[in-house]
Amino acid sequence: MTRIENILPFAPRAEQFLADAVAATGLSDFGDEAFPFREGYELFLAELDREGRLSTEGAGATETQIGLMLRARLATVAAWKANPGYRDVEIRRPIIITGIVRSGTTALHHLMAIDSQFLGCRTGWCVLPVHCRRSRHGQRRPTTSPQRRRWNG
């Protein structure tokens, strides 16, 4: 697939993507000091321009994903700062499920998520961070931040 010439390059729009994420979430701290990401972000955009070979549709989808990931970054940094105790939570025996496509990994993940001793990360939770609390039955359930509610608007 050849790159279509009318696609705007990504790298020169790096600051605009950041500003759009700030406007969408009402948050402004990307956590550069404690959680650096700027160098990787700029390299990613430069490589998209250099090697991406995206169609018009692919470029549009990629731009949408960039916006979602930057919003998630803002929400995650806000959650880390609001809940500094996350660093003190011990994860004693993590279970990591991997496998090739269509091998049953998602089914296994869903089966394990039914058991209250496990807390799996749903895809949406990865994109839009949430805090977890224990229900009256001891199960951990996500709670939604005000930023997430506004974001999903």
pLDDT per residue as tens digits for the range 73-131: 898 888 888 888 888 888 888 888 889 989 998 888 888 878 888 877 665 565 555 55
Among 84, 111, 126, the domain-final residue is: 84
Both 96 and 49 in a single domain? no
Q: How far apart are CA 93 and CA 91, in angstroms?
A: 6
Q: How far apart are CA 38 and CA 11, in angstroms?
A: 12
Q: In the block, which residue shows the tokens 């994420």?
A: 21
Q: What is the pLDDT of residues 70-89, one digit of tens each?
A: 998 898 888 888 888 888 88
Q: Which tops the pLDDT comparison, 2 or 11?
A: 11
128 touches 68 (CB < 8 A): no
**Residue 120: how many CB atoms within 10 A of its CB?**
15
Both 65 and 106 in a single domain? no
Cα-based angle 91, 118, 34 (whole degrees, multiple of 5): 40
Q: What pLDDT, on the 0 to 100 scale, is given for residue 102?
A: 92
Backbone angles phi, psi at 3, to 5 degrees: -70, 135
Q: What is the pLDDT of residues 22-52, one digit of tens each?
A: 999 999 999 877 667 888 899 999 999 999 8
pTM of the predicted protein model:
0.67
| Residue 3 domain-assigned (yes or no) | no
Q: What is the extent of the structural domain holding 106?
A: 89-152
26 touches 150 (CB < 8 A): yes
Among 45, 64, 84, the domain-final residue is: 84
| Residue 2 domain-assigned (yes or no) | no
Both 15 and 60 in a single domain? yes
Query: Is it the case that residue 145 has pLDDT exceeding 60?
Result: no
Among 55, 84, 113, the domain-final residue is: 84
What is the tally of structural domains in the chain? 2
| Residue 1 domain-assigned (yes or no) | no
Both 78 and 95 in a single domain? no
| Residue 37 domain-assigned (yes or no) | yes
> Quick one: which of 144, 122, 123, 150 has its CA closest to 132?
144
DSSP string, 6-59: TSPPSGGGHHHHHHHHHHHHS-----TTTS--HHHHHHHHHHHHHH----HHHH
| Residue 4 domain-assigned (yes or no) | no
Both 64 and 113 in a single domain? no
